[in-house]
Amino acid sequence: MTKIFFTPGPSQLYLTVAKHLEKGLIENVYSISHRGKQFEQIFAETTANLKKLLNIPEDYSIFFVSSGTECMERIIENCVEKYSFHFVNGAFSQRFYETAIELKKQPLEQKADLGSGFDFENVSIPLKTELICFVHNETSTGVMLNSKKIESFKKLFPETLIAVDCVSSMPYVDLNYKAVDLVFFSVQKLLGLPAGLGVLIVSPNALKKAESLSKRKINIGTYHNLLSLQKYASKNQTPETPSVMHIYLLEKVLEDMLKIGIKKIRNDTDKKAKLIYDFLDNDPYLSSFVKDEQFRSKTVIVAKMDQKTESLIKFLKERGIVVAGGYGALKDFQIRIANVPANSINNTKLLIKSLRLYTKQLKP
């Protein structure tokens, strides 16, 4: 049976991935040297496509690592001597905070309840803070922060670096990169690639910070420290042998997305999210886990029930639809739905129809 994956990572493969994967095989792309011209072209095209699609400033660097989780480690290692500040409202923002602890830094956290966002006006951040860390879209709870509010911190803290985890919101999120310094995402979410590649977008100021830590003999890591990544990226290469296959697939999928246009991709995402939330707001059994509309994620939608969702997940699976369970304490009473470009409006309607079919048969 053909399956439709509404899981938030790995997600449904983008429609053209199979075709590109095969073309890469036929053209021997997976055996080429990562020190040769052909790879350098792939690297250059991929970063050019990213800059074009996302409107990233020319003087920002783009690095390829292996996961979003790795990005968290490299960011803290390279941009924090002691003090990072973290907005924590779920498993992934918690992971970012704990990364700083594991690296023997002295991070602070501002907590919010699961399913909630932050009241940014009432947060106090110490002036000595070197890096403020946001998770734009908390994959575990379906809370999306307002990117304009994230950007506004740059005015308040012009000397502080800003990191934004966009693992499950890129390329939906429309960022002003000049107001942020370290942005990262994984390719297995909205980009629809197989998992195995993390992308890190870095401002000149973030590179300067890594340089200053390095000069002061602070451990910033080895082959994947920002300076090593930058040295190789300036030649369109990576320090180690990378997954050429992933970078090649990313180049091709970005090309496809450029043809469609980022506006349409974002509009379609909004439309599909509205369909799902409208359904949840009117269904007697299923409802949105995130109550406050301003924090409802457009890309990872968490629905909750008063009863366990196990049989719902099974019901959908029998119809070829795969959704994810919840996360953390309430996981058994939730489902998580990824709203990614690979899933069409029609597929989204099919999902909603199946959800409705399930709750209709439930007894009050």
The CA-to-CA distance between both ends of the chain, in Å, stands at: 33
Q: For the CB of residue 159, give the shortest distance to a second copy in the complex, in Å.
A: 26
| 246 part of the interface to a second copy, by CB under 8 A | yes
Separation between Cα atoms, residue 81 and residue 152, nearest integer Å: 24
| 68 part of the interface to a second copy, by CB under 8 A | yes
Q: For the CB of residue 72, give the shortest distance to a second copy in the complex, in Å.
A: 7
Q: For the CB of residue 76, give the shortest distance to a second copy in the complex, in Å.
A: 8
Give the sign of the dihedral formed by CA 40, CA 42, CA 43, CA 47.
Answer: positive
The secondary structure of 93-157 as a DSSP string is HHHHHHHHHHTT---EEEE--TT----GGG----TT--EEEEESEETTTTEE--HHHHHHHHHH-
Question: How crowded is the C-beta side of 97, counted as CA atoms within 13 Å?
Answer: 17
The site for a second copy, by CB under 8 A, has a size of 56
| 245 part of the interface to a second copy, by CB under 8 A | yes
Which of 46, 54, 73, 172 is in the footprint of a second copy by CB under 8 A? 73
Which of 155, 215, 217, 259 is in the footprint of a second copy by CB under 8 A? 217
Q: For the CB of residue 314, give the shortest distance to a second copy in the complex, in Å.
A: 14
Tokens of 344: 């069409």
Nearer to a second copy, 269 or 343 (CB): 343
Nearer to a second copy, 161 or 323 (CB): 323
| 72 part of the interface to a second copy, by CB under 8 A | yes
DSSP H helices in 123-261: 147-156, 204-215, 226-233, 244-260
Separation between Cα atoms, residue 172 and residue 269, nearest integer Å: 8
Please, which of residues 107-146 interact with a second copy by CB under 8 A?
none
Which of 241, 267, 294, 307 is in the footprint of a second copy by CB under 8 A? 241
Q: For the CB of residue 199, give the shortest distance to a second copy in the complex, in Å.
A: 14
Please, which of residues 152-211 interact with a second copy by CB under 8 A?
186, 188, 194-197
| CB neighbourhood size of 262 (10 A) | 16
Which of 31, 234, 346, 361 is in the footprint of a second copy by CB under 8 A? 31
| 82 part of the interface to a second copy, by CB under 8 A | no
Tokens of 348: 């989204």
Chain centroid offset of residue 228 CA? 24
Separation between Cα atoms, residue 46 and residue 254, nearest integer Å: 8
Q: Which stretch binds a second copy (CB under 8 A): 18-26, 129-137, 141-149, 202-210?
A: 18-26
Which of 15, 16, 23, 32 is in the footprint of a second copy by CB under 8 A? 32
Nearest alpha-carbon partner for 202 in 349, 36, 75 = 75
Separation between Cα atoms, residue 180 and residue 169, nearest integer Å: 16
Please, which of residues 287-326 interact with a second copy by CB under 8 A?
322, 324
Chain centroid offset of residue 192 CA? 12
Q: For the CB of residue 29, give the shortest distance to a second copy in the complex, in Å.
A: 9
| Residues 202, 182 contacting (CB under 8 angstroms) | yes
Nearer to a second copy, 32 or 350 (CB): 32
Nearer to a second copy, 94 or 147 (CB): 94
| 28 part of the interface to a second copy, by CB under 8 A | yes
Residues of the shown chain interacting with a second copy in the complex, contacts defined by CB under 8 A = 3, 5, 7, 9-13, 17-18, 21-22, 25, 28, 30-34, 65-70, 72-73, 95, 98-99, 102-104, 186, 188, 194-197, 217, 219, 221-225, 239-246, 322, 324
